[in-house]
Amino acid sequence: MTLAPETAGVPDAAGDRTVVGANLSLPLFRTLSGVLAGHPYLKVVVDRAEDTWHLLDTQAHPFHVDYIATRVLGMTREQLDARLDAFNASVYTDPERRFLLGVLSLHAEREADGTERPFLVLETTEADTMHGALLEEFYRTVRGRVDGRLPLLLKPANHGQEHELASVNEARVPRILSHELFGNRTRTCLNPGEAEGRLRHFRTRQEYDAAAADLGWADIVAMPCLPDDVPRVAGFVNTAPITPLSHTNVLASGWGIPNAIVRDLDDLVRQGDLDGAWVRYRVREDTVTLERLSNAPDLRQPAWHQQRIRIGTPLLADIPVLDLHRLRRTDRDSYGTKAAGLGELHHVLDSRTADLTAFYARPRPPRPDLLGHLAARLGEPGAARERLRAAAARRVADTVRAPAGVALPFWLHHLFLTSSPALQQGIGKLKMALELEAYDMVDPLCLSLQHLVRTTDLPGEVARAVTGSLPGLPGTRRLVVRSSSNAEDLPGFSAAGMYDSVTTVHGPGQLLDAVRQVWASLLSPRSVRLRHQAGISLDDTYMGVIVQEYTPAVLGGVLVTCDPTRREDFRNVYLNCTPGSPERVVDGTVLPQQYLYNTVEGGGRTVDVGSEGTDLPAATRAKLAELALVGRLLQSHFSEDDPDGALDIEWLMTAEGDFHIVQIRPYAR
C-alpha cells in the first residue's frame, strides 16, 4: 500500500513508507533510502500515464519490477514470474514505455573551505535502453519534484545512454559519468571477507622489504601497491587505486582473504593508532571498515595451514615437443595447465563442435534458463538450442584466435634436472630443509638452485628438442616463452604471478636461456614456500614451457567472466585493458581502463579510465563487448563441470582489430 503526500514517510500497517506524488526533500530521502556501495540511495518510478512518481521504501521494495507489477498493476507474483522477461522488456527497452525506472543516490562534494555540499545523482538500471528524449524527460520530471536546493545530475547507466545523451544539451540535462563519480572513491571492495589480525602499514616498498621476512599468517598488509611476492597473510589493504585483476588481488581471491582499496588509511591509522595494532578488517561490497581490538584475539592457525592441494601425478614419459593445436586439456599432466588450455582453445575454434551455450541453459529462477537472451545477443531470436549452439561456435571462431606455438613437455625439464649431480644435490638439500621446517635455510637454497638452473648447460638431447621447435616458428621474429606448470590453476591454488614469462626472445641462444629462466622460476623462494604451505610436494612439481610467436598489440588486457566484487552477479563480465601488453594490467605498474559488459541483456559501462585518463573510442568499446560475450561462451566449455565457474582470459588486440587469446584458465574464486 502506498501513501499520500500529506502522510509522506509515515508507515502503513505493513510498515511500508513508500510515497506517491510527494516532492522529495532531503529528510524524506533519508527516511526511505538504503545504502549501496557506501552511498544512500532511493528507487524511483515515474508513471507517465498518471503523471506522477513513486518513491519506494527501500526495505519494503528492493526491486522496481516487483513493485510496479504487484502494487501498481495488481499482478500476482506468479503472473509476473510467468512473463518476467517480457515484462522487463516493457519497462526497460520499450521506447513507448509507461514507466521510467531509476535510482537516486546521495553524494557530497567537498568545498574549498572543507564543508561538504550534498548533491543527487539519477540513473537507470544498467540494461535500460532509454533514448535521448526519454532520458531528458526522465531527468526533467525528477528535477521538477526534487528540492531545488539539491543539485541533480544524470549518470548514464551504459555506453548506449552516453551515446544518446551526446546530442542533448548539457545545460538541459547536467550529467556525470560513472568513472567521474566513483574514480576517487575513498574505499572500494576488491575481495569481500573478514579477518582479525595485526595491521602492518608500509608507506614505501623499502619499508616493506625491511620487514617482509617477519610477516606471518596473522598479519594484514597495507601499502600503496602490494608486491607480487607478498606471502600468504590474513588480509590485503591497498592504499592506492588498483584493479581487482592484478596478480596480488587474484591471489587474495584465491586465498579467500579480505582485500580492499582504502585511500584514507593514513588518516585511519593516525586517528586510531592502528599501525601494528590488532584489528578487525571487514570488506563488503558497500562498506570497508578497520576496527581496533582492545586485546589481541585468540587466533588459531587458519585452515590453509592444514590444506593439502591435490595435484595430478606428472607424466614423465619420453614424449615430443608438440604444436599447441595438437594438445587437449587432458594433456595437462604432461605439458602443464596453460599449454593444455591453449590446446583446448584451438580445438574449440577448429572443430566448432563444443556446446558453448551451457552457461545460458542453467536455471536462473524464476527463469528456466537464459537461452532467449543468448539468442538476442547472437542475432538469432527464437532459435532452437541446436541452432544456438552452431551460432555460438561461429561467433567465437569469428571473434578470437588462438596463438600459434609449441609446448615443451615435463619430460625435458626432468631430463635437465637429472642430468646434473649438482642440481640433484641441491634439490635434496631443499627437500630436507622443508621436511625439517628449517625455513631459515629454504630461501638461500632456492636462490642457489635458481642460479644453477640458469647457468647449467642443457644436455644435447634437451637442447636439440628445444631449438628444434624453431622450424615451426619464424626464426628471425621475436618469441615469447611462457610457463606452464602442473602446480598452478588448481582449486585453492592459482599461482597468479608466481612463475616467469620471457617476452623478448630472439634466436636459439636466447630461447635456451629463456627456457632455463622459466624452469628456474619453479624454484623461487616464494613459489617453493607457497606450494609447501599448500601441501604440494617438490617431487610432484614440474614445469612445461610454451613458445609462441610474439604478436604486436595495440591493446592488451584481461577479462574474467564474473564481477569480482559482486559474486552473485551472473550478468557481467569484467574486462581490463591498457595499450600494449596484457602483462601491464596484472603487474600493477599502471591502472588499466576497466569495463563491465552485461552478457545477458546486453550493454556495457566504463568503471575506470585508468592511467590513460581518457575512455576508449565507442567503436573499440563495442569490439570489447563482443570479446566479453565470447569469454562468456567459452566459459560454458572450459567450466563444463560448473558452468558458473569463472574464467580468467588474457588477450591482445592487433592493429588490424583482431583478438588473440594468449592464456585461458580458471579464475580463482
pTM of the model: 0.92
- CATH topology classification for 349-401+552-666: D-amino Acid Aminotransferase; Chain A, domain 1 (3.30.470)
Q: In the prediction, which pLDDT does 463 show?
A: 95
* Residues in contact with 265: Cβ distance below 8 Å, sequence separation at least 6, in sequence order: 201, 222, 237, 239, 290
Q: Report the pLDDT averaged over residues 7-24.
A: 80
Task: Give rounded-to-5 percent helix, strand, coil for the chain.
Answer: 35, 25, 40
Q: Are 280 and 198 in contact (CB under 8 A)?
A: no
Give the confidence band of 332 by pLDDT, cuts at 50, 70, 90.
very high
For the chain, the domains span 5-176, 187-305, 349-401+552-666, 406-541
Is the confidence at residue 4, as pLDDT, over 60?
no
Tens of pLDDT, residue by residue over 168-219, are: 999 999 999 988 887 778 899 999 999 999 999 999 999 999 999 899 999 9
CB 453 within 8 A of CB 469: no
Can you state the angle between helices 618-638 and 385-399, rounded to 10 degrees?
120
Check: CATH 3.50.30.10 for 187-305? yes
The answer on pLDDT for 350 being more than 50 is yes
> What pLDDT does 392 receive?
97
Share the mean pLDDT of the chain: 92
Q: In the CATH hierarchy, which fold is given to the domain comprising 406-541?
A: Dna Ligase; domain 1 (3.30.1490)
Q: CA–CA separation, 266 vs 274, rounded Å? A: 10
pLDDT for res 184: 73
Nearest alpha carbon to residue 190 among 240, 127, 265: 240
pLDDT band, residue 8 (cuts 50/70/90): low
Q: Give yes or no for residue 304 having a pLDDT over 70.
A: no
Burial class (CB in 10 A: 0-12, 13-18, 19+), 651: buried
Which ranges of 286-438 does DSSP label H, i.e. alpha helix?
A: 332-335, 337-351, 358-361, 371-377, 385-399, 410-418, 421-435
| Grid cell in block for residue 461 | 638431447
Selection from 224, 253, 235 nearest residue 289 by Cα: 235
Integer angstrom CA distances of residue 666 from 621, 630, 640: 25, 15, 11
